[in-house]
Amino acid sequence: MTAQMDEKKNSSEIFEKMPVPKALMTMAVPTIIGQLIVLIYNLADTFFVGRTNNPYMIAGVSLILPIFNITISLAGLAGVGGGSLVSRLLGAGNSDEAKTVSRFSLYIAVLVSALFSILTFLFMEPLLGVLGAGPETYPYARIYAFCVIVLGAVPTVLSNTMSTLLRSVGSSRQAGFGITMGGLLNIGLDPLFMFVLFPRGMEIAGAGVATFLSNCISCLYFFTVIYRSRATSVITFSPRLPLPQRESIRGIFGVGIPASVATLLFDLDYVIIDRLMSGYGDIALASVGIVLKAERLPLNVGIGICQGMMPIVAYNYAARNFKRMKSTMRCALLSGIITAAASVTMYELLAGHIMRLFIADAETVALGTDFLRVRCLATPLMFLSFFTVYLFQALGRGDRAMFLGVMRWAVFNIPMLFLLNHLVGMYGIVWSQVTADVLTVTLSFLVYRQFARREHI
């Protein structure tokens, strides 16, 4: 009973009483910092590998990015589905069920990530072939995938799941710190393993080992936080708890599966971009690989804002405090739009300088500069698109989140890639995001307006 009262007190301070801008800042800032560090450590591998000035090695790393992001989607299956439900259960005053949901979510994370690791190992060769790995890039891609996916899937998925669950009860600072620590460790370990401990020509293996170790240490940190707070938190690994109620299990997967599918489709979009761009040569593939990472800066900030918003919206939706819920939505939306607009300006002005941070090869820089200036135009539209998806996840409306995710990627984005590649060629691939997201944002607005009228919120 004491644990439940302490958890309720902690969440109610942020979710019920604190002024909305301060509450959103309290939840979002640690998450944004964590997202930026994740971006930086993803970029760090590309940056340090780029110091070799070997475009084939960079292309090998870039090919694995979509597979690595699948591990994040697996974390969404358990973390987003379980975290959203935990926040809503706390808002409804049901701490006991929130505890069983958190335990179930953590065990699901271990199971699905271990299965993904095994399947990647067994089907590595055909998988890399589908991704477009050529004779020059295949050896590098294989080594990197073994380190960060085969060895690293479980700690990566579990770390992100634990972070999301901690954020769902208002512990955003601890959630953000664990992700930030892992990212900073990776940045520090990259040059040590790549240029000191590993021999010349094996830099990509050093980058992969550094990523794996940093995720393991981050995972250990989250284990420690959860264990130490076991007496005052609903987040637990305790095997003695019963299974969640059937309705709760449906709630976890009802939100978690759409969240995971949306991320998988996002990754599939990146896979198709890589696959289509590989047809224009390894230089084009290396260029777009850098761009797809560099463009993530404002997107990761936007994701941090949405992840900070989710528990507050979920809690107040369950508590029927629609005024505070809508105030939080407006505050998050405004923050994301301002960030996106500023990023478009920055990329248009500094695209060439950004490319030269990663590689000195003049042809790769020139092509990547053009790509980045086009891709960044989609940033405000992309934020609006996934803002709506995160919102429906917070409300427990996985069906609408699934609909928007599938429409965005399977109906608009991916077909647009093939269409514009056929009509325009290489630059059509780059313009596809802007074109498709105009349609996505329009649909998202219509779906939310219909939902708000039906629910009278």
pLDDT of the residue at 223: 92
Q: DSSP letters of 56-101?
A: HHHHHHHHHHHHHHHHHHHHHHHHHHHHHHHHHHHHTT-HHHHHHH
* Predicted confidence band of residue 58 (pLDDT cuts 50, 70, 90): confident
Q: Which residues of 429-442 are buried (b: 16+ CB within 10 A; e: fewer)?
A: bbbbbbbbbebbbe
Q: What is the pLDDT of residue 348?
A: 92
Tens digit of each residue's pLDDT (9 = 90 or more) over 215-236 = 999 999 999 999 888 777 889 8
CB 403 within 8 A of CB 391: no
The pLDDT score that the predictor gives to residue 365 is 87
Q: What is the pLDDT of residue 2?
A: 43
Q: Is the pLDDT of residue 3 over 50?
A: no
Question: What count of other Cβ atoms lies within 10 Å of the Cβ of residue 76?
Answer: 27
- Tell me the CB-side half-sphere exposure of residue 289, using CA atoms within 13 A: 36
Picking from 266, 376, 361, 267, the residue whose alpha carbon sits closest to that of residue 58 is: 361
Tell me, what's the pLDDT at 10? 57
Mean pLDDT computed over 291-310: 87
Arithmetic mean of pLDDT over the chain: 86
For residue 173, the model assigns a pLDDT of: 87
What residue type is assigned to position 398 of the chain? G
Full-model pTM: 0.80
Query: Looking at residue 222, what is its pLDDT?
Result: 94
- For residue range 412-454, list pLDDT tens digits in order: 999 999 999 999 989 999 999 999 999 999 999 999 999 988 8
d(CA 266, CA 332): 22
Residue-wise pLDDT for 273-288, tens only, equals 888 888 888 788 888 8
Look at residue 388 in the predicted model and tell me its pLDDT. 94
Query: CB 158: neighbour CB atoms within 10 A?
Result: 26
**pLDDT value, residue 140:** 85
Mean pLDDT of 48-55: 74
Distance CA 429, CA 422 (A): 9
Residue 232 three-state SS = coil
Q: Residue 42: its pLDDT value, please?
A: 67
Q: What is the DSSP string of 146-191?
A: IIIIITTHHHHHHHHHHHHHHHHTT-HHHHHHHHHHHHHHHHHHHH
Which residue, chain included where needed, has tokens 């802007």?
Answer: 434
Mean pLDDT of 139-159: 90
* Residue 62 · residue 133 · CB < 8 Å: no
Residue 161 has pLDDT above 50, yes or no: yes
d(CA 433, CA 379): 9
Structure tokens at 409: 């990627």
Confidence of residue 104 (pLDDT cuts 50, 70, 90): very high
- Per the CB < 8 A criterion, the answer to whether 165 and 229 are in contact is no
